[in-house]
Amino acid sequence: MNKYVIIALCLFATLSISASNKKKPAKEIKSTELHLAQPVYNVKYGAVDQKDVKTVIDKVYKYISGEGKNTFSLTSYEWGVTYQALLKAYKATGDKSYADYVEQRFMMLANKYDSCRAQMYNTGSVDAEMRAVVNPRALDDAGAMSTAMMKWRVMDHGNNKYMPMIDNYFNYIEYHQDRLNDGTFCRQRPQRNSVWMDDLFMSVPAILNYAHLKDETRDDATRFYSDAVRQIDNFSDRLFNPQKGLWRHAWVEDMTDHPSFYWARSNGWAILSLCEALDQLPNSYAGRDKIMSIYKQMVSSLIELQDEDGFWHQLLDRPNSYQETSATAIFTYAIAHGINSGWLDASAYGPSVLSGWHAIASKVNEEGQVEGTCVGTGMGFDASYYMHRPVNAKAAHGYGPVIMASAEVYTLLEKQHPRMNDGAVQFYKGSVATGGPIFAIADPTRGEELTAGSSRINESAPVVFICGDSTVKNGRGKGDGGMWGWGDFLEQFLDSTRVTSENHALGGRSSRTYYTEGLWDKVLPGIKKGDFVLIQFGHNDGGPLNTGRARASLNGSDETNQTVIMEKNGGPETVYTFGHYIRLFVRQAKSKGATVIVMSYTPGNSWSEDGKMRRCTDTYAAWSKSVAQEEGVYYIDENDLAATKFEALGEQEAKKLYKDSVHTIYGGAIINCEAIIQGVRNLTDCPLNKYLK
């Protein structure tokens, strides 16, 4: 075989292999389905739950608390931040191991304090960890550590064991740290009278927390508030750029032109200081409004500067600088804290918080180390200095902020309801159970938090729909004002592996307004064959027909009606009997194939002289029962069953289970719910029985 044949065969083989390895073209997406195409994110994107957040906290905590696994200084300002973060994590999650870590270390320092202070006095030296405690020489030594101790002292029931250390720290801050002529904290490096943005955080939180300790002793705390606000004013005059909404890192008294580098972590220290001031200062305190304004300016700027992966960059206004973890964590915390505190709108800012949290979570490795954190950074006068600062997992600055941000996000998820909708993160005021895109969102203030039927386990699993007033669901069903409705507890009596319940009741509604205001129209489409519908009204069916709240129905169960002119709009409305509206609900639910249970309303906190609760036997109970019998559906006399249970407790004990004349507290709602379950069991042929526990 000649060489030309060999070459040809080799070429053929090469081409064949290349063709076989060539990727098959991706399945073509129809133009009508382009919105379904999946984006490719560098960092995870989307909603998150508390379990995910707790996992990250635990991973970092396991690393920092592991003996011999790290060499972090336990008395540095970075660890002062970490102690504060762990206390936030304890408060958010209830996991006492975080607080135990802080307590053990603070008690260790407290137990050594007197002897080390004596040693310092006698010899002029002490071990490096204790030197910063007994003889602080900079705000870095005193600020974050004293703040952490003061916060723990409050949580530790005012334990005065820590007060000698706190007083010593604060003595340095207030009387020994260098200041400019106007009282602004400064340093004598790298230039004379240099103002570092970092020092706002190293001073203001400590001053504000110390003011609260002085309040405890009835001492004058006003001067401490005044000093804290003065520091923020003076720092902002020198370092805050209102056009950018950001803070320069440094200012030097003897310079005409000051360096304008917007280093990320120094801006983090700034916004943490603002958050602390807004938390600690009385709402009416002079100067607080200005602090709030700067905080909101910062947040607005930060949202614009957050990158596509959820990070903020080493120099905030230079996207070609690297993504930096500690600052990203601080900003994530500060914005989440603003939402949790009511300063910011969750719908507008919540998605950026989750994007930031995913970013920092991506930097926590399997060992629990925080990667991507800039090492300690001094004052620079050129971009090259900042942009080339090293990053390292041993940089202690990242650990506290990551825990702090995660703790605040954990709290956020208790108060807010983020979920994916059509590919994007959205924050809702109420829970949204459906897994598909939402094209019409209900108003939770009207009790429309659930999409009817959205809780269904599978296509064949039934749902128990509950319709009623505030005795069934008060507010958002979370104990608003200490009041609970029985519908919030029904699921405790159901086999949750086979059936779900949805509480579509709304406070203040009557049988009439539940229909006329469109609430029933939102429930009905979700009802399917095999479902259950529980109906209880009557508490609000009295009163005026056409003035004020205008929610009354006519007495009775027949088809009597009356046309009235409504005060609110000057138009006519035909008002029917209570029984008419109940009949409407029953018939429409039956047409969907549902099993319907009509109930008399819960007993009010009204007692006769013989120690018996007053009942509605001859009115709403009679009308409810009449409709149920006529329509061939089930009836439970909840009014009588629950009243009998309350009477068994005795009038005085039973009254303690009511918030007012109608609404129950937690224990009272449970009794009402137990009465309903008893009523269901009494209906021996009712198919709901097979789903009870």
Q: Say if residue 21's pLDDT is above 60.
A: no
Q: Average pLDDT, whole number, for the chain?
A: 91
Known catalytic residues are: 470, 660, 663
> What DSSP designation does 17 have?
H
333: its two tokens: 């915390």
pLDDT of residue 6: 44
Count other Cβ atoms within 10 Å, centred on residue 161.
15
Weakest mean pLDDT among 215-219, 392-396, 421-425? 215-219
pLDDT of residue 686: 96
Count other Cβ atoms within 10 Å, centred on residue 348.
12
Count other Cβ atoms within 10 Å, centred on residue 643.
26
Exposure string of 378-417, with b = 16+ CB inside 10 Å and e = fewer, is ebbbeeeebbebebebebbbbbbbbbbbbbbbbbbbeebb
Identify each DSSP E strand in 394-523 by its residue range. 417-421, 424-428, 463-467, 500-503
In whole angstroms, what is the distance from residue 407 CA to residue 74 CA?
21
pLDDT, tens only, 191-232: 999 999 999 999 999 999 999 887 666 567 788 999 999 999
pLDDT, tens only, 591-603: 999 999 999 999 9
pLDDT of residue 128: 87
Q: Say if residue 68's pLDDT is above 60.
A: no
Nearest to 47 by CA among 482, 419, 551, 464: 419
pLDDT, tens only, 424-467: 999 987 766 555 666 555 555 444 456 888 889 998 999 999 99
Place 34 in a pLDDT band, splitting at 50, 70 and 90: low
pLDDT of residue 200: 97
pLDDT, tens only, 248-302: 999 999 999 988 999 999 999 999 999 999 999 999 999 999 999 999 999 999 9
Burial tier of 43 (Cβ tally within 10 Å: 0-12, 13-18, 19+)? middle
pLDDT of residue 17: 40
In whole angstroms, what is the distance from residue 521 CA to residue 340 CA?
34
Find the angle CA(466)-CA(472)-CA(477) to the nearest 5 degrees: 95
Model pTM score: 0.68
> What three-state secondary structure class fits 113?
helix
Taking the CA atoms of residue 92, residue 416, residue 448 and residue 469 in that order, the dihedral angle to the nearest 10 degrees is 30
pLDDT, tens only, 104-125: 999 999 999 999 999 998 999 9
Contact 570, 564 (CB under 8 A): no
Contact 161, 113 (CB under 8 A): no
Strand partners, 562: 575
Nearest to 412 by CA among 333, 510, 302: 333
- Whether the upstream peptide bond of residue 319 has omega within 30° of 0, thus cis, is no
Contact 333, 405 (CB under 8 A): yes
Please give the C-alpha separations between residue 344 and each of 273, 276, 358, 408, 538, in angstroms, as whole numbers: 17, 16, 20, 14, 40
Taking the CA atoms of residue 58, residue 62, residue 64 and residue 67 in that order, the dihedral angle to the nearest 10 degrees is 160
325 contact partners, CB below 8 Å, separation of at least 6: 311, 359, 360, 363, 370, 371, 372, 373, 391, 398, 401, 402
pLDDT of residue 504: 94
In whole angstroms, what is the distance from residue 341 CA to residue 337 CA?
6
Q: Say if residue 70's pLDDT is above 70.
A: no
In whole angstroms, what is the distance from residue 73 CA to residue 79 CA?
7
Contact 229, 177 (CB under 8 A): no
- The 3-class SS string of 37-72 reads CCCCCCCCCCCCCHHHHHHHHHHHHHHHHCCCCCCC
pLDDT of residue 419: 87
Place 33 in a pLDDT band, splitting at 50, 70 and 90: low
Count other Cβ atoms within 10 Å, centred on residue 476.
16
Nearest to 633 by CA among 575, 582, 580: 582
pLDDT of residue 479: 84
470 contact partners, CB below 8 Å, separation of at least 6: 483, 485, 505, 506, 507, 508, 539, 662, 663
Exposure string of 648-679, with b = 16+ CB inside 10 Å and e = fewer, is eeeeeebeebbeeebbbbeebbbbbbbbbbeb
For the chain, helix, strand, coil in percent to 5 are 50, 10, 40
Contact 468, 484 (CB under 8 A): no
Weakest mean pLDDT among 114-118, 481-485, 634-638? 481-485
pLDDT of residue 16: 45
Q: Say if residue 131's pLDDT is above 60.
A: yes
Single-letter amino acid, residue 149: M
pLDDT of residue 299: 98
Place 38 in a pLDDT band, splitting at 50, 70 and 90: confident
1: its two tokens: 């075989």
| DSSP-assigned letters across all residues of 276-341 | HHHHHS-TT-TTHHHHHHHHHHHHHHHHHH--TTS-EESBTT-TTSPEEHHHHHHHHHHHHHHHHT
In whole angstroms, what is the distance from residue 551 CA to residue 540 CA?
7
Q: Say if residue 15's pLDDT is above 70.
A: no
| DSSP-assigned letters across all residues of 145-176 | HHHHHHHHHHHTTT-GGGHHHHHHHHHHHHHT
- The more confidently predicted of residues 72 and 25 is 72
User: What domains are there in the chain, each with its CATH number?
Assistant: 51-173+186-380+389-427 (1.50.10.10), 445-691 (3.40.50.1110)
Nearest to 264 by CA among 353, 363, 334: 334
Weakest mean pLDDT among 52-61, 337-346, 350-359, 411-420? 411-420
326: its two tokens: 């500690």
Q: Can you tell me the mean pLDDT for 481-489?
A: 92
Q: Say if residue 29's pLDDT is above 80.
A: no
